[in-house]
Structure 1
Amino acid sequence: MAKPIIKIENLSASYRKNTVLHDVNFDVMSGSLTGIVGPNGAGKSTLLKTMLNLHPALAGSVSFFGLPFAKAKKRIGYVPQRGSVDWDFPTDALDVVTMGLYGQIGWLRRPGRLHKEKAYEALEKMGMADYADRQISQLSGGQQQRVFLARALVQHADIYFMDEPLAGVDATTERAIMTILKELKSIGKTVMVVHHDLQTVEDYFDHVLFLNQTVIKHGKTGHIFTKENIAKTYGGNMHWKGEVNQGVVHSFE
């Protein structure tokens, strides 16, 4: 029987003595594309940061491939929220993507021609090759997000975590990002995405994790993406429109 490649047990975390995550438990299998959904303040971003040792845990354990993060981090890629990045930093798109290879290069060594070629190929995959020499501060929000996704792709990780990669991007960029994420899943990569748009969950993700400080429900989207579970997660404050067939919600307002 296959073992989960991500295992979270009794995970808790807080900000300024306010509990943000409490007793979080779930497993993730290889080759899945999971949407993490929940209301504002549910702890979605904190969950990713705590799993990746970017925020301290109060209790619990996190393992990847049966190992702690420190021993598995070379196999993990992360795309933070765009708003958390200093886009005024004086560097171009190609250099930003090349930074994704520093785990292989070493921070004290300069990237070589092969590294630059890999970075360029990742930009090309995201439709950003023509902007390789452009300062990141001169790019649009959607273009910046594509560059950051290229930086994650160049790592050739086995697990990818993405914190709202579709927030504030245009429709073309959204389609391009989801095409890449589905391609990653198709070749056996595991992807977890903090997502805010309930209307697209069924189309985008084969698994969904409902979170509101703790896990409300986690499983295959076709089984658990129901009006009942959404109401439990969002506190029953949803306003519905459209039809609900076989318990599955098809539109929201």
Structure 2
Amino acid sequence: MSHVLEVDNVSAAYRKNKVLDQVTFAVEQGTLTGIVGPNGAGKSTLIKTLLQLHPSLGGNVTFFGHSLKAEKTRVGYVPQRGSVDWDFPTNALDVVMMGLYQKIGWFKWPMRRHKEKAFEALEKVGMGAFAERQISQLSGGQQQRVFLARALIQEADLYFMDEPFAGVDASTEKAIMTILKELKNNGKTVLVVHHDLQTVQDYFDQVLLLNKSVIAHGPTQQVFNAETIANAYGGAVRWMKEGINNGHPSLQ
């Protein structure tokens, strides 16, 4: 399997506070990776730094063996829902079509086929009936589905998703997870910032445990265990007994 993402000694800070310290890891094609760690561990900052949305203090990042600029059309990004101005006067269909602007050009008018493609993406995430609805009128889960559709329409090979399950209902979480696993099965690579330790083993085949630096990275069944979780969370985790919640960890 080939590496679609290679991260070598990447560091980053907010003002004088270092939030990423010599982060190094590589991601193989066709994997679904959960980025897990405590609050303030640098999970969202990691994604933003890799995508050059936050300045790096050093290190090197390659996408498919090249720079981000060279491979930008192959990379999709779903930001945190809370970072978006949902009062902006636009509807769900227009938001999804924004995912096509790199291909059709920012100053070119979308054609009928582009609108049809955007509507198909909305249908895929169960939002076809809301295509003309203003985004400010959508629930949190519906907004997240729209953002997922915008990423899907890019037809990227590598996706970054920052807390896609935050503030959504159970049906939306299930729908999103179905799509992520479908992407993986189609050879796409997905990295997801995730908070719920109890679903990590069910959702991801790879896990990156992060607390400013990489605590562990690899197949979930191998590296997601009591020791690595305690190291990442500073020991504030208990490992539930076998037979209770399938031995999954939970925060105390």
Q: Give the TM-score range, shorter chain.
A: over 0.9
Residue correspondences, number? 250
Does structure 2 retain, via aligned residues, the 8 Å contact 1:226–1:249?
no
- 1:184-204 CA-partner distances (Å, limit 9, x unpaired): 000000000000000000000
CA RMSD for the aligned pairs?
1.3
- 1:77-124 CA-partner distances (Å, limit 9, x unpaired): 000000000000000000000000000010010111000001000000
1:86 is aligned to 85
Secondary structure at the counterpart of residue 73 of structure 1:
helix
- 1:148-179 CA-partner distances (Å, limit 9, x unpaired): 00000000000000000001100000000000
2:26 is aligned to 27
Gaps of 5+ in 2: none
Distance 1:15 1:244 in 2: 43
TM-score, normalization: structure 1?
0.96
Give the superposition deviation at 1:251. Answer: 4.0
Does structure 2 retain, via aligned residues, the 8 Å contact 1:123–1:150?
yes
Distance 1:159 1:192 in 2: 8
Matches within 5 A, 1:51-70: 51-70=50-69
Matches within 5 A, 1:98-177: 98-177=97-176
Gaps of 5+ in 1: none
The residue identity in structure 1 corresponding to 2:66 is L
The residue identity in structure 2 corresponding to 1:218 is H
Distance 1:179 1:20 in 2: 32
- 1:18-70 CA-partner distances (Å, limit 9, x unpaired): 10000100000000000000000000000000000100100001100111111
Give the superposition deviation at 1:243. Answer: 2.5
2:11 is aligned to 12
The residue identity in structure 2 corresponding to 1:202 is Q
Distance 1:250 1:191 in 2: 23
Distance 2:228 2:243 in 1: 13
Secondary structure at the counterpart of residue 5 of structure 1:
strand
Does structure 2 retain, via aligned residues, the 8 Å contact 1:227–1:249?
no
The residue identity in structure 2 corresponding to 1:144 is Q
Does structure 2 retain, via aligned residues, the 8 Å contact 1:89–1:137?
yes
Give the superposition deviation at 1:7. Answer: 0.2
Does structure 2 retain, via aligned residues, the 8 Å contact 1:164–1:196?
yes
Matches within 5 A, 1:174-253: 174-243=173-242, 249-253=247-251
- 1:204-231 CA-partner distances (Å, limit 9, x unpaired): 0000000000000000001111011100
The residue identity in structure 1 corresponding to 2:234 is G
Does structure 2 retain, via aligned residues, the 8 Å contact 1:36–1:44?
yes
Runs of 4+ deviating beyond 6 Å: none
| Percentage of matched positions with identical amino acids | 66
Secondary structure at the counterpart of residue 13 of structure 1:
strand
The residue identity in structure 1 corresponding to 2:35 is I
Does structure 2 retain, via aligned residues, the 8 Å contact 1:11–1:61?
yes
TM-score, normalization: structure 2?
0.97
